[in-house]
């Protein structure tokens, strides 16, 4: 575990390369039940009834895919055991009617309290066997060997076992055996406490433990305080805007604190909406708000917007609605793992008609981009930025047709190399440009800030340069570079080495 989330070390999420028990490695929530539904159908054998077990959190059950899967699992009536780990949280406390329903689930006296208050150290050694027998006896006494009736799940055709004290190993094992015996779809409702047994984790309300690379065992203080970042700048600027515009509302998909919306939620609780792990609903709900005259700001990790592309395209952009999407963790995210890399947004969103995309490079340009995006009532806008630490401002030397010039030999000089820098990669680009100059070439570095649509002024290519390139934290296909090359061809500008 000392190598957790480090190069060559242990992944922070399930990884099939690490263990045969990691069946899937997509760390986006709410997918397990659909996998289980498909797997149960694939291994169906009349001569051998094999049970598929899926574990989901109550937070994951705020996602629509879970209910689409339940709708089909119930009809198929194959042996699928669904363990609901009910700890009342995902990143943040679980919200919504279903969480309230689970909280009202009938339970033997004290079971929910014991799950949250029992001592940290479970029985060990020789005492474990006796504990198992005692737990099994207690469970039999409570449920008499049958699944407890539970309205909503029973109506869907699902048996229900629970609530079970998820920290009572004997009770959980017995519940699982009982569920397997039904030979059909069963819900096992296990009540647990997140971080159970380790007080710093149990008491953590900031979710720092969720993605920490390491921490002090004595205090629970997590590593990774990288100082100011662009998320904090966004958070501060959104508050400033909201103070002057009461039509601005904020939406998150169970990621309030990580996306920087915490301060907004605390200052304007009536203008803040956490929809749970439901990105599709978040986007179309925002469309409804915009239709009603509000300007929603949907703050979401770039990787999670992939899940709501159809809603961005058809529910927002088709209607030319003024919704601003703020994409945190855009680009490569390193130790977050492959499923969290936010490097597809520039390509995916590039095909959405009428959508404008800003890629600010520093604090000043982020504040400007957010202001400009929220002021735009003609259609949807996107402001995207990475999770890298906040660097110093990079003021432009001048502007050409709205494009910032960050470095050049002379105002009117033609250059050997022209570099179009996208977002905070400007710091690395300027360092590279200095080495290019040391090698004896002239270079101009420009930053369009708004990368869709591509700026219409092509005076930056005057000369034209011998070489040109774009530097972006995305994919080659359909990225900013591809759109620049296409625009150059349409404009009749021929740069062979671009």
DSSP string, 377-419: -SS-EEEE--SSBP------SEEETTEEEEE-S-TT---SEEE
Q: What is the pLDDT of residue 496?
A: 65
The pLDDT of 399-413, averaged and rounded, is 86
Sketch the domain layout of the chain as residue ranges. 32-194, 230-384, 398-491
Cβ neighbour number for residue 389 with a 10 Å cutoff: 11
pLDDT tops 80 at residue 219: no
* Higher pLDDT, residue 104 or 200: 200
The pLDDT of 267-289, averaged and rounded, is 94
**Closest listed residue to residue 449, CA positions, set 425, 475, 413:** 425
Helix (H) or strand (E) holding 57: strand 52-57
Q: What is the pLDDT of residue 208?
A: 58
The pLDDT of 344-361, averaged and rounded, is 95
Q: What is the pLDDT of residue 123?
A: 38
Any idea which of 91-105, 353-367, 381-395 has the lowest mean pLDDT? 91-105
pLDDT tops 80 at residue 205: no
pLDDT tops 50 at residue 140: no
Taking the domain 398-491, which CATH number applies? 3.40.50.920
Q: What is the β-pairing status of strands 467-471 and 417-421?
A: parallel
The pLDDT of 446-473, averaged and rounded, is 80
Any idea which of 41-55, 357-371, 388-402 has the lowest mean pLDDT? 41-55
pLDDT tops 60 at residue 145: no
* Higher pLDDT, residue 67 or 46: 67
* Higher pLDDT, residue 386 or 49: 386
Q: What is the pLDDT of residue 364?
A: 96
Fold of 32-194: Rossmann fold (3.40.50)
Q: What is the pLDDT of residue 277?
A: 87
Q: What is the pLDDT of residue 259?
A: 92
What's the pLDDT tens digit per position in 421-442?
Answer: 999 999 999 999 999 999 999 9
Tell me if residue 69 falls in helix, strand or coil.
helix
Q: What is the pLDDT of residue 413?
A: 75
What's the pLDDT tens digit per position in 6-37?
Answer: 888 888 788 888 888 888 877 678 889 999 99
Tell me if residue 153 falls in helix, strand or coil.
helix
pLDDT above 90 as % of the chain: 47
The alpha carbon of residue 205 and the mean position of all alpha carbons in its chain are separated, in whole angstroms, by: 19
Domain 230-384 and domain 398-491, same fold? Reply is yes
How is residue 475 written in tokens?
């994919």
Q: What is the pLDDT of residue 118?
A: 44
Residue 497 DSSP label: B
492: exposed, middle or buried (C-beta count within 10 Å: 0-12, 13-18, 19+)? exposed
Contact 297, 115 (CB under 8 A): no
What's the pLDDT tens digit per position in 53-110?
Answer: 999 988 888 888 888 999 999 989 899 999 999 887 666 666 666 666 666 665 543 4
Average pLDDT, the chain: 83
Which residues on adjacent β-strands are paired with residue 45?
48
Tell me the helices (H) and strands (E) count for the chain, helix number first.
17, 16
Q: What is the pLDDT of residue 143?
A: 45
Q: What is the pLDDT of residue 270?
A: 96
Q: What is the pLDDT of residue 103?
A: 63
Fold of 230-384: Rossmann fold (3.40.50)
**Predicted model pTM:** 0.83
Q: Strands across the sheet with 403-407, in order?
A: 398-400, 403-407, 443-447, 417-421, 467-471
The pLDDT of 385-398, averaged and rounded, is 92
Any idea which of 66-75, 279-288, 370-379, 464-473 has the lowest mean pLDDT? 464-473
| CA atoms of 477 and 468, how far apart (whole Å) | 17
Would you name the residues annotated as active-site residues?
194, 279, 307
- Distances 145 to 1, 192, 206, 300 between C-alpha atoms, Å: 40, 22, 41, 45
């Amino acid at each position: 575990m000392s190598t957790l989330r480090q190069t060559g070390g242990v992944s922070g999420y399930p990884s099939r390369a690490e263990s045969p028990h990691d069946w899937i490695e997509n760390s986006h929530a709410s997918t397990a039940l659909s996998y289980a539904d498909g797997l149960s159908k694939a291994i169906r054998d009349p001569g051998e009834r094999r049970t598929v077990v899926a574990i989901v959190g109550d937070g994951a059950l705020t996602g629509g895919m879970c209910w689409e899967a339940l709708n089909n699992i119930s009809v198929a009536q194959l042996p699928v055991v669904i363990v609901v780990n009910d700890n009342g949280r995902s990143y943040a406390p679980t919200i919504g009617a279903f969480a309230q329903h689970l909280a009202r689930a009938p339970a033997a006296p004290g079971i929910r309290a014991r799950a949250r208050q029992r001592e940290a150290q479970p029985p060990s050694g020789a005492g474990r066997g006796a504990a198992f027998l005692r737990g099994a006896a207690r469970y039999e006494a409570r449920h008499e060997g049958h699944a407890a009736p539970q309205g909503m799940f029973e109506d869907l055709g699902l048996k229900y076992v629970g609530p079970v004290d998820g920290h009572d190993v004997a009770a959980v094992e017995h519940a699982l055996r009982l569920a397997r015996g039904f030979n059909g779809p069963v819900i096992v409702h296990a009540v647990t406490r997140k971080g159970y047994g380790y007080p710093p984790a149990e008491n953590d309300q900031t979710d720092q433990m969720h993605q920490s690379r390491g921490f002090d065992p004595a205090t629970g203080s997590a590593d990774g305080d990288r100082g100011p970042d662009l998320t904090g700048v966004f958070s501060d600027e959104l508050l400033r805007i909201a103070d002057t515009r009461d039509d601005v509302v904020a939406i998150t998909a169970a990621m309030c604190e990580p996306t920087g919306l915490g301060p907004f939620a605390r200052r304007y609780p009536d203008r803040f909406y956490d929809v749970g792990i439901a990105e599709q609903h978040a986007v179309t709900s925002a469309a409804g708000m915009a239709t009603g005259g509000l300007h929603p700001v949907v703050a979401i990790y770039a990787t999670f917007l992939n899940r709501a592309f159809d809603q961005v395209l058809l529910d927002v952009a088709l209607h030319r609605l003024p919704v601003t999407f703020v994409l945190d963790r855009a680009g490569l995210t390193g130790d977050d793992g492959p499923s969290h890399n936010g490097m597809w947004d520039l390509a995916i969103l590039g095909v959405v008609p009428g959508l404008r995309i800003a890629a600010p490079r520093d604090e000043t340009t982020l504040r400007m981009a957010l202001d400009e995006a929220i002021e735009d009532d003609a259609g949807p806008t996107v402001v995207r930025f990475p999770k890298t630490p906040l660097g110093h401002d990079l003021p432009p030397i001048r502007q050409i047709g709205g494009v910032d010039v960050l470095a050049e030999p002379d105002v009117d000089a033609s250059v050997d190399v022209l570099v179009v820098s996208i977002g905070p990669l400007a710091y690395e680009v300027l360092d590279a440009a200095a080495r290019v100059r040391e090698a004896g070439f002239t270079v101009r570095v420009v930053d369009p800030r708004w990368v869709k649509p591509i700026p219409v002024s092509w005076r930056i290519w005057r000369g034209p340069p011998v070489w040109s390139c774009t530097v972006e934290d995305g994919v080659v296909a359909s990225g900013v570079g591809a759109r620049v090359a296409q625009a150059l061809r349409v404009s009749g500008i021929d740069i062979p080495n671009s």
